[in-house]
Amino acid sequence: KVPAALLRKAAAAKESGSFDMEIWGSGLQKRSFCYIDDAVEGVLKLLNSECHDPVNIGSEEVVTIDRLAAMAAEAVGLDPCQLRLKHMHSRPVGVASRNSDNSFVREQLGWEPKVCLQEGLKETGRWIEGEVRVLQRRVGEASFQNVLDELKRSTLVRLRSGKTVFALLLPVTSRTNTTSDTSS
């Protein structure tokens, strides 16, 4: 979610010529991000394996959110030195550091990510820039600046009160035996 949000903001900054970029928190939070194709490959390897233990499927490449913002700018063709990061300390930021240790998944599945963060950002950035151009054609030049201003901001999602909201997390490692039991 964060890489796509920062790429969206960088693409909008590039298009608008206004290089402010909103960052929630200090920007010093550390994260690792895995390109979607690599994550899908890892999950498929897990599903097709005999491994029944929980595993981390992710990248060991750790960056700060500020560095990720600079990388997002580079991915869409902006000079990161042009960015003016606006740190919003009143917004939720999560834990200080989150990253993956791939030693177990490497040993059990022979899997590790193939796409480095910068390359994944470039690929995703190209797609996001295309979507921004689609929006431009759809809304027209008169409204496009307002759209760009919206794209440069993130919104805190608040669930409506009075509603019951729940989620069910099903671990992908929970699999049944593929042999059928005909005795029951």
For 118-146, write each residue's pLDDT tens digit: 999 999 999 999 999 999 999 888 899 88
Inter-residue contact 101 to 60 (CB < 8 Å): yes
pLDDT of 184 reads 40
Q: What pLDDT is stored for residue 75 in this prediction?
A: 97
Residue 32: φ, ψ to 5°: -125, 145
Q: Which position has the token pair 């899997």?
A: 111
Q: Say yes or no to pLDDT of 174 above 60.
A: no
Query: How confident is residue 165, by pLDDT bands cut at 50, 70 and 90?
Result: low
Sheet strands (E) in the chain: 20-24, 30-32, 62-64, 84-88, 97-98
Please give the helix or strand (H or E) that residue 7 lies within, else none.
helix 2-16
Q: Output the pLDDT for position 99.
A: 80
Distance CA 79, CA 10 (A): 10
Torsions phi, psi for 22 (to 5 deg) = -75, 130
pLDDT at 169 over 80: no
CB 9 within 8 A of CB 152: yes
Strand partners, 63: 31
Q: Please, what sign has the CA dihedral across residues 153, 129, 78, 120?
A: positive
Does 179 score more than 70 pLDDT?
Answer: no
| Cα–Cα distance, 77 to 91 (Å, whole number) | 28
Does 6 have pLDDT greater than 90? yes
Distance, CA of 36 to CA of 34 (rounded, Å): 6
Q: Is 83 helix (H, G, I), strand (E, B) or coil?
A: coil
pLDDT of residue 173 exceeding 50: no
Of residues 141 and 25, more confidence is placed in 25
- Number of residues that this document lists for the chain: 184
Report how far residue 179's alpha carbon sits from residue 148's, in angstroms, rounded to the nearest whole number.
Answer: 55
What is the CB neighbour count within 10 angstroms for residue 15?
20
